[in-house]
């Protein structure tokens, strides 16, 4: 289509006529659409940035949402628990994520008997592996809240919820730094930059002046490497 008739978010990638693969299929264009355009981080004029749907920090926003409104929608507001769904499981109805009330947000299959779930990240319904992982973290939060209430029966819902969230987030960060990152970047680099978890004692090297913002180039391009880690047997 002529440029004046295309949507500004549509940025199709032109494919050369002699491309060794696509020329066999007569394809000269690869669809590419960016969404959720945001102002530049310093609000200056220039090319647009994309808006990440989760926070920059390892704060388990995939479990609790990235805004107070999302968190409020997921909370039960009783006994520090996250809200469970109506579907039954081996853990009872509280063992399942809450059902999504409407279509959209990666949930587009209206077939009878098909269920979509609600979680801190809308991509919970994108593939079964993500759904299972979200369910594990959801159940872990409620397990922690239940144990904390047993130990501290006088605690309020607020105390139980945020202490359970704090412990779960520590588990989440420990898995990333102790198990995942050493596989991705190697233990040598982890040791060089001093980011391996300690086996004992405490670290005092936190620096509040470090900007934790994830760059657009990393989020939109470099971190796509994460998609290559998914097993090919998953549709």
Per the CB < 8 A criterion, the answer to whether 94 and 158 are in contact is no
Torsion of the alpha carbons at 32, 34, 35 and 40, rounded to the nearest 10: -170
Task: Give me the percent of the chain exceeding a pLDDT of 70.
Answer: 85
What is the structure's pLDDT at 105?
56
Across 49-58, 96-105, 119-128, 164-173, the highest mean pLDDT is recorded for 164-173
Domain boundaries, the chain: 1-33, 74-200
Confidence of residue 51 (pLDDT cuts 50, 70, 90): confident
What is the structure's pLDDT at 1?
67
Is residue 160 exposed (0-12), middle (13-18) or buried (19+ Cβ within 10 Å)? buried
- Give the pTM: 0.79
More confident residue, 4 or 152: 152
Q: CA distances (Å), 59 to each of 17, 45, 63, 114, 142, in order?
A: 46, 31, 9, 31, 17
């Amino acid at each position: 289509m002529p440029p004046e008739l295309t949507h500004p978010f549509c940025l199709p990638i032109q494919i050369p006529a002699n491309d060794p693969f696509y020329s066999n299929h007569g394809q000269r264009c690869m669809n590419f659409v960016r969404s959720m355009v945001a102002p530049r981080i310093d609000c200056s004029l220039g090319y647009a940035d994309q808006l990440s749907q989760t926070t920059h920090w390892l704060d388990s926003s995939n479990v609790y949402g990235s805004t107070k409104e999302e968190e409020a929608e997921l909370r039960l507001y009783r006994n520090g628990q996250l809200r469970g769904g109506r579907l039954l499981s081996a853990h009872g109805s509280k063992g399942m994520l809450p059902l999504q009330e409407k279509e959209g947000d990666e949930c587009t299959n209206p077939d009878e008997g098909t269920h979509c779930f609600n979680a801190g990240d809308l991509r919970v319904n994108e593939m079964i592996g993500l759904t299972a992982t979200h369910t594990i973290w959801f159940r872990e939060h409620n397990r922690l809240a239940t144990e904390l209430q047993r130990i501290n029966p006088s605690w309020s819902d607020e105390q139980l919820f945020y202490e359970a969230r704090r412990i779960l987030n520590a588990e989440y960060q420990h898995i990333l730094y102790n198990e995942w990152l050493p596989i991705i970047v190697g233990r040598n680099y982890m040791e060089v930059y001093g980011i391996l978890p300690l086996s004992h004692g405490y670290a005092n090297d936190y620096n509040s002046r470090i900007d934790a913002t994830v760059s657009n180039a990393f989020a939109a391009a470099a971190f796509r490497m994460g998609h290559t880690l998914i097993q090919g047997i998953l549709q």
